[in-house]
Homo-oligomer: A and B are copies of this chain.
Amino acid sequence: MKRSDPTRVLLGRHVKKLRLQAGLSQEAFADLCGLDRTYISGIERGVRNPTLEVLAIIAAALHIDLITLFNFDGCD
Contacts from A to B (Cβ < 8 Å): 1, 5, 7-8, 11, 49-53, 55-56, 65-67, 69-71
Contact = CB atoms under 8 A, between A and B. Distances in A.
Given A1-B53, A51-B51, A66-B70, 16 more contacts: A5-B53, A5-B56, A7-B52, A7-B66, A8-B53, A11-B52, A49-B51, A50-B51, A50-B52, A51-B52, A52-B55, A65-B70, A67-B67, A67-B70, A69-B70, A70-B70
Main DSSP-derived SS at the A contact region: helix
A65 B73 CA distance: 12
Contacts of A67: 67, 70-71
Contacts of A51: 49-52
